Amino acid sequence: MSIPRVFAKWFSNGLLAVFISAAGWTVLPAHAQSAPDLALEAGDDIRIKVFQNPDLSFDSRVPESGTISYPLIGSVQIGGLSISAAEKRIADALRTGGFVLQPQVNIVVLQARGSQVSVLGQVTKPGRFPLETSSARVTDVLAMAGGATLTGDDVAVLTGTRNSKPFRRVIDIPAIFLNGNSDDNMVVAAGDTLYVPRAPVFYIYGEAQKPGSYRIERGMTVMKALATGGGPTVRGSESRLRLTRKNAKGVEEQFTPEANDLVRPDDVIYVRESIF
């Protein structure tokens, strides 16, 4: 069973952590770590439990106002609070009201509707996903969506708001792993959108073994593009290529490329017949 969000209460002996989920108690080994608290958002479905007080178990959805009505203590403002802070607020109200002597309050987020991120474009499972922790990064949410498809680009675009201002960043996905560029693997926030565009392609036709469209790999030269298309046929010649490319004004230009020229998006390579 998957647990939407969990939190830990360590016993004094430090050997076990007790996690509470919608289904009850689950005992995890000591090396399990609790996830950093996320703020409770409007729309989150929560379950509140008070240890040894089943009558105070309560399910609710956090309203837009952030205030819920809880048994015995009435209205409680929990919207915008972390889970631990909300637990403490309810426990303090139960204690000061004289309802429970030493309340142990636990809150479980059954479904996170407020803290969500969208992953769109060329991914296996596009959609909206709940942020399980406040430290979820680009690679985490990309994994939630099943990763990029074969047609996906090597870059992704992260958009959202930071400090009440529009935010946009182009992220080099392979650089995160190959170059250790942790700056690109940034923390995402609720409401962010991660978009993986379609990878750029080139076209090859004429006397090529495998004419068609192909993904442009990084640093791909005309010679590598020709090899991707299977090379020339017995009637073709690798020295008689013609490349069609749009210039900055969008006008198509044709020229004879050099073998080490880099291939650009939407280039069209025509393999002509040998003159002999």
Say what the pLDDT of residue 35 is.
43
Between 145 and 179, the more confident residue is 145
In 10 A of CB 227, how many CB atoms?
13
Say what the pLDDT of residue 276 is.
67
Residues 6+ apart with CB under 8 A from 75: 67, 68, 69
Say what the pLDDT of residue 207 is.
95
Residue 125 contacts residue 196 (beta carbons within 8 Å): no
Confidence of residue 113 (pLDDT cuts 50, 70, 90): confident
Give the single-character DSSP code of 223: H
Q: Can you list the domains of the chain with their CATH numbers? A: 8-111 (3.30.1950.10), 116-196 (3.10.560.10), 201-273 (3.10.560.10)
Q: What's the CA gap between 240 and 243, in Å, rounded?
A: 10
Q: What's the CA gap between 162 and 2, in Å, rounded?
A: 31
Q: Is the pLDDT of residue 13 over 70?
A: no
What is the arithmetic mean of pLDDT over 116-138?
89
Question: The tokens 């949410």 sit on which residue?
Answer: 141
Residue 170 phi, psi dihedral angles, 5° rounding: -90, 125
User: Six-digit token pair at 178?
Assistant: 């190959």
Q: What's the CA gap between 24 and 50, in Å, rounded?
A: 12
Q: What is the largest CA-CA distance in the chain?
A: 100
Burial class (CB in 10 A: 0-12, 13-18, 19+), 267: buried
**pTM score, whole prediction:** 0.63
